[in-house]
Structure 1
Amino acid sequence: MCVSAGVYARIREDIVSGALPPGAPLVEVTMAQRYGTSRTPVREALRRLEQDGLVEPGARGMRVRTRSVEEILEIYDVRITLEATAARWAADRRTELDLVRLRRAHDFMEQTDATDGAAMAETNRRFHEAVWAAGHNATLVDTLRNLNAHLVRYPATTLTRAGRWATALQEHARLVEAITDRDAAAAAKIAEEHMAAAREIRLQMAGEDDVR
């Protein structure tokens, strides 16, 4: 891994973990000292992170991008539409191999420790990516991955809310069934309702935490 890539990975991890909180200034000289490197790798890393939507211009250079309820609404409103499209295309275009991958991803979710938020989020992400892949549209997959990257600044997962994990598993099972049956309309509706429920929980969490 080149120096700039390594610095990028470390800064990104610190943003996701909250070690660099929203609004934190990212001064090149200070960052270079923090990560034990020169300013050039830091500058290149910050440029990539800005493209990722994780940092933004501040009063003095760059800063960790701030959070807002409005942004949550924007992210989820777009994602609801795209997830429904992905599910519709998956039902239309899936192969038998896609079904094997979807069922395996769902099995992993069912075997996940429901007290481990990080593991829940990871297996949930893999399931959704399996749905995206079954639609066989690389542009849509790239768009959804880029959009999903914005949510890493909101690290608490909605799946830890009381009852949400069990409901998500049921919704995913119904989605696999609709895709298996090539019922595109049902698959799109299930995906849309699934993400709309996640949006409402995320908004509740933001209100409780005052979008810290």
Structure 2
Amino acid sequence: MNPVGNALSNFCALCIHADTSRRAAAAGARIICHNAPVSRHGEAGTDPEPTGRAADSDGRPYRLLRQEILDGAIRPGDLLLETALSTRYEVSRTPIRVALVRLEHDGLVERASRGFRVRVGSAEDVLDIYEARIALESTAAAGAALRRTDLELARLTHLHQESVGADVPVAADLHRQWHEVLWTASHNLAIASTLVRLCSQLTIFDPAPMLQPGSLDAACDEHRHILDAIADRDPDAARDAVAAHLTRTRETRLAVLAKG
């Protein structure tokens, strides 16, 4: 068996489980209360936190609040009050304040008259993010074609194979993971970390494009072309394939936003 086959065989033994969480649609501003349920699962691509009990106490509100925003449990336009969040996460207001400032830097929340609120995106936001994403992820794909390891190629192959024919929520999560592995395979931390931030903003700004009819099959075909280029170590083909893929998903997102 060749190195890629060995890597894929070993990786498949680990088994990837998909998180099928879905975002709720924005339906007016709410004030987040302390007795609402708190999400406990992690998010791939979240900034690493320092180790140690004190560091975990400070970083936990950021991780949980960020995940609830990305999951849709806390919706665009919702008000985020330090006092309510302090009670909700059972911490003092200081780590809550730090978490809100970090989330503002991530582009997920913005300052409001009564504290902070989850950002509500516009078509202009989507256009701006995609302009940056197409440039960065195309470069990442070219880098992955040149620098990917056999294990990274095996992970991309496995995620792609699992997504073909999967239910939409499962496939959407697998496709998100696939893109994250692609960024990692570029071995460019600056690009990868920026793409995490940009795609987190897209998550809350508008519905996922794969929920639209025919989009999932198109995305699988496009991923196959990107994967072939990376396997062949063809940076130009990988760059072009990613640009075409993201251009289509951009147009799908904008069409959904235009419908209101």
TM-score normalized by the length of structure 2: 0.72
Are residues 1:25 and 2:79 paired? yes
Structure 2 residue 111 is the aligned partner of structure 1 residue 57:
yes
Gaps of at least 5 residues in structure 1 are none
Considering only aligned residues, what root-mean-square deviation do their CA atoms show, in Å? 2.1
Q: Of Structure 1 and Structure 2, which has the larger fraction of its residues in helix? A: 1
Equivalent positions of 1:72-87 (< 5 A) are 72-87=126-141
Structure 1 residues 106, 57: closer, same or farther in 2, change over 3 A? Answer: same
Greater relative contact order (Cα 8 A, min sep 6): structure 1 or 2? 1
Gaps of 5+ in 2: 1-52
> Whole-Å Cα distance in 2 between the matches of residues 56 and 70 of structure 1?
17
Aligned-partner Cα distance in 2 for 1:120–1:29: 38
1:16–1:101: structure 2 CA closer, same or farther, 3 Å change rule?
closer
Which range is displaced more, 90-99 or 169-178?
Answer: 90-99
Q: Which residue of 2 aligns with 1:176?
A: 227
In structure 2, the partner of 1:142 is: 193
Number of residue equivalences: 206
Q: CA deviation at 1:75?
A: 0.7
| Alpha-carbon separation, structure 2, partners of 1:36 and 1:135 | 39
Instruction: Select the residue among 163, 179, 188 that pairs with 2:214.
Output: 163
Match of 2:69 in 1: 15
How far off its partner does 1:36 sit? 4.4
Cα distance in 2 between the residues matched to 1:134 and 1:19: 31
- Conserved? CA contact 1:17–1:155, under 8 Å: no
2:255 paired residue among 183, 201, 204: 204
